[in-house]
Amino acid sequence: EGIEDIEQLGESSCESSTTNNLMAQASSQVDAGRLMEARALYELAFRAAKIDSDRIQCVEGLSNISAKLNTSGRSVEAEAVSTRVVALYDDTSFLNTPTSHLARSLTQLGRCAQANKSLKVCQRAFQRAVSMYCRAYGHDHVFVATSLGHLANVLYKKGDFEDADRKSTRLN
């Protein structure tokens, strides 16, 4: 019985070490500006991770890559990475994932989609972000207001002036 416990501990430690090594390599790729290489390493680390905290760290790494891609003008790639991040949060049942992580990822997706003029994707992302932020922080929070402002802007660009006005009125 004691030997089996030690073997399981060794396997767990090895898996954790592999995940940590992959995440460290991904981080160094980000630092070197090789974002797509870093994305692949974070994806591998996510698959290798056995505990939620490591998996969340991998998803957050992907989210950071999306933000860097978007700010460097690579919005199409950024939207693809953001879509993956949201899908990972949606498809994975993390036990203790704060709702704010998903809301932040949805906001990032909305920004990327807006840069690509994908207004339907953008609108859905901001609507979900508003809902998630409300759930996490209540209705009177700066993140809710910011997301409502983003949503109102998209609605205005789509020509839905009445709904845009209703959303922006909630900000006052």
What does the alpha-carbon distance between residue 79 and residue 138 come to, in Å, rounded to a whole number? 28
pLDDT score for 10: 39
Query: What Cα–Cα distance (Å) separates residue 73 from each residue in 30, 50, 66, 119, 120?
Result: 16, 34, 11, 18, 20
pLDDT of residue 115: 93
pLDDT tens, 10-30? 344 445 678 888 888 888 888
* Type of residue found at 147: S
| Mean pLDDT value across residues 37-59 | 88
Residue type for 31, please? D
pLDDT mean across residues, the chain:
84
Q: Is the pLDDT of residue 94 over 50?
A: yes
Q: pLDDT band at residue 5, thresholds of 50, 70 and 90?
A: very low
User: Residues 151-164: what's their mean pLDDT?
Assistant: 84
Average pLDDT over residues 147-161: 88
How far is residue 124's CA from residue 108's CA, in Å, rounded to a whole number? 12
Considering 50-59, 104-113, 133-142, the range whose residues carry the highest mean pLDDT is: 104-113
User: What is the model's pTM?
Assistant: 0.81
DSSP assigned state of 96: S
